[in-house]
Structure 1
Amino acid sequence: MTPSVPKTTRTIVLANPPIGEVQADTFKLEEWPLAELKDGEVLLKMLAFGNEPAQRCWMDGNTDPRRLYVEPVKQGDAVRAFGIGEILVSKSDKWEVGQRVTGVFVWQEYLVVNEGGINGEAAVIPGMSEWIWLGIFGLNGLTAWAGATKECNLKPEHTVLVSGAAGAVGSVFVQIAKKVIGCKKVVGVAGGREKCDWVKSLGADDCVDYKSKSFKKDLQAALPDYADVFFDLAGGKVLDVALTVVARHGFISQCGALDIYNGKPLELTNYREVIYNRLTIKGFIIIDHMGSIAEATGDLGKWVQEGKISFTGGETVVDTKFEDVPKTWQMLFSGATRGKLITKLV
């Protein structure tokens, strides 16, 4: 390395795997040495991190690693995260200095990465957000695509319910369901009138506020003939109420459970509906569809160009000092964000 290249990097590690809510001592800021670059490696300066509810699952202190779908983040590990970084130094034949790349990285300011750990270039596309590779063209868009086309197998005749409809995955799913597939009726669930209005602007026929005291009554009024398909990203209370409006022999794709990731217990008072109405509930994780990334990326790019999917208003970008990266991530659980939550390092 040349003298102008950093020799160390600030790193946020998992100090105490959380059981229940994340605590003040869950994370720790440390200074780590940077390894000398080997052939096939690059040095990145991190520009932004994507924030995923699943990160809470990866670091959970009460989960059997054998039951987890990825390698857990262990005590003392740097916290894993999707991100975009700029190449400062390259010993790779595939990547050049100055290119912006995306991948599954960690919470570090600078990072030595093998070229095999880079997912692709995060080029700035004129007229689009510079962070779109962390949202629509990243994990969230791919998840919405696979959820709609592969897991739920949506058809025009379907009435569809989507929870977390103002979130990074749900907002894209709503648009695919209504504007691409042309589902008969699409109803979203979101927190607050402002978010619900935005979900309807994306194409949803209706959106119900789960924070309202009349949530159950409002949801039943929005779906008098029930939903054939329920794409659930929320879990908890929303799932419990939604069980009363899924049609007999209906399908529930359980893609997320944000309401319970941070230690809140799951209470289902309406679970008998699964039996009475012979409902099918199937868990869904995007890693089951990694072989379809090229198809998904092609479709999503085409739909954006055609105006069927909009990213307008679909990002919450937070300017963040590196030491405050965990605080921005925790905004996911506050209900204060809309669309994709992006940590922009400043």
Structure 2
Amino acid sequence: MSIPSVATTIVIKNCPEKDTICEFDRPDSTFTIKQIPIPEHLPEGTCLVKTLLLSNDPHQRLSIQKNQEIGRSYAAPLVPGDIMTSLGIVEIVKSNSKKYEPGQIVIGLIRWADYAVLSDTADLHQPIKQPLEYPLEYYLSIFGITGLAAYFGLVDVGKVSKGSVVVVSAASGATGSMAVQIAKNILGAGKVIGISGSDSKCEFVMHELGADICFNYHDPNWETEFTQYIGTQFIDVFFDCVGGDILNFLLTKIKKGGRVAVCGSISGFNDKNSGKIGNWNEVITNTITLQGFLVFDYQDRFLEGATVLVEAVKAGKLKTDAAFHVKTCVGNDITEKIKQIPKIWKLLFTDYKPNGKLITRIV
């Protein structure tokens, strides 16, 4: 493998207050391209890696928010001049580390770049066993943080049990699609109701993932139809990835003592006003528990969760072909290809996002 003399990277130019600007060469562009020399001699405890796959996650938007309160962030915010980061999978090209050797495939916190020099402790997390038993994409979706977040959110936070009535928002998305299947096929929920952003996505949630029904929140009548469907029955657990208006409405449908596993709040990522909650009376009078969680809270139990998910795949309880969607960076040269990374990532915040986990392939 020939190693280039420079790495082509995506660097933060402006931290956004609201929407990210993923077009380049504008005064207000969120990102810019930078060529960074690759050192001939690596510092001790580092590896030169080639990027293979990037995970696209909503929390990356929070990491670049302008004027963050550092003490309220769960990770150190990125600032102008920093290379944009992502979970992902890399190949070790060159090593000055006792932990990793050239040729190993490793999952970790990587960079929006074709090549990067990464720390063997802070950045590189775990090698993936070779020869591969499963496609690499599984380790960023089914067995990755999306599958683990869905599992621990339902089991530990939602406390879903056999027969529970469970609602999942963003049910066609990365974590939501896993939550639907785990609730239905692993935990034995009695009824699983999805909420998604189009009729076609709702069809996917019902016919591919196995939800009992799915409601399109863009339909002006969806709340009325939901109320008619649920009747006098109430929800045991709401697995929420969205917040905002959907959470406000669902709080009126949760039983006394019911639970909300707050996995995400994507409705308020670009506009905080869109994520506000106005139904606190429902929480108080019906003694509803809302609990936010981070998947890395369960890092010491990842093996436990991954073992359950692997066994579920082997038993046919999780549909692997519905778990992820890969978009490949295209272009006439490496700069054009790398410029596609933020545009693919921004699909997360639109109605054009593909079903399942969105993964970017760098070639």
Shift of 1:280: 1.5
**1:137 aligned to 2:143?**
yes
Match of 1:19 in 2: 17
Which residue identity is paired with 2:161? K
Which residue identity is paired with 2:164? H
In structure 2, the CA distance between the partners of 1:131 and 1:230, relative to structure 1 (3 Å rule), is: same
2:153 to 147, 155, 159: 147
Deviations 1:219-258 (A, max 9, x none): 2233221101111001122112211211122111111011
1:203 to 210, 223, 227: 210
Match of 1:102 in 2: 107
Q: Which runs of 5+ in 2 are unaligned?
A: 24-28, 330-336
Give the distance between the partners of 2:210 and 2:279, measured in 1 at CA.
29
| TM-score computed with the length of structure 2 as normaliser | 0.89
Contact kept? 2:209, 2:322, Cα under 8 Å: no
Give the distance between the partners of 1:222 and 1:39, measured in 2 at CA.
61
Give the distance between the partners of 1:258 and 1:78, measured in 2 at CA.
23
Deviations 1:68-89 (A, max 9, x none): 1111112211111011111222
Give the distance between the partners of 2:194 and 2:45, measured in 1 at CA.
46
Shift of 1:269: 4.4
**1:327 aligned to 2:343?**
yes
Question: Which residues of 2 match residues 272-283 of structure 1 at below 5 A?
Answer: 272-283=281-292
Give the distance between the partners of 2:238 and 2:109, measured in 1 at CA.
29
Give the distance between the partners of 1:161 and 1:9, measured in 2 at CA.
44
| TM-score computed with the length of structure 1 as normaliser | 0.93
Question: Which residues of 2 match residues 203-282 of structure 1 at below 5 A?
Answer: 203-224=210-231, 225-263=233-271, 265=273, 266-282=275-291
Deviations 1:43-101 (A, max 9, x none): 11111211000000111114211101111112211111011111222233433322221
1:174 to 176, 180, 189: 180
Which residue identity is paired with 1:83? G
**1:308 aligned to 2:308?**
no
Root-mean-square deviation (CA, aligned residues, Å) is 1.9
Contact kept? 2:142, 2:323, Cα under 8 Å: no
Deviations 1:91-143 (A, max 9, x none): 33433322221111121210112322322234577785431111111111111
Give the distance between the partners of 1:60 and 1:193, measured in 2 at CA.
32
1:52 to 57, 72, 75: 57
Which residue identity is paired with 2:163? E
Give the distance between the partners of 1:105 and 1:299, measured in 2 at CA.
27
Partner secondary structure for residue 188 of structure 1 = strand
Match of 1:160 in 2: 166
Shift of 1:264: 5.0
**1:193 aligned to 2:206?**
no
Give the distance between the partners of 2:130 and 2:348, measured in 1 at CA.
25
Partner secondary structure for residue 133 of structure 1 = helix
Partner secondary structure for residue 11 of structure 1 = strand
Give the distance between the partners of 1:130 and 1:5, measured in 2 at CA.
23
Shift of 1:341: 0.6
Give the distance between the partners of 2:20 and 2:187, measured in 1 at CA.
39
Match of 1:112 in 2: 117
Shift of 1:33: 2.2
Partner secondary structure for residue 339 of structure 2 = helix
In structure 2, the CA distance between the partners of 1:197 and 1:84, relative to structure 1 (3 Å rule), is: same
Which residue identity is paired with 2:359? I
Contact kept? 1:8, 1:31, Cα under 8 Å: yes
Partner secondary structure for residue 131 of structure 1 = helix
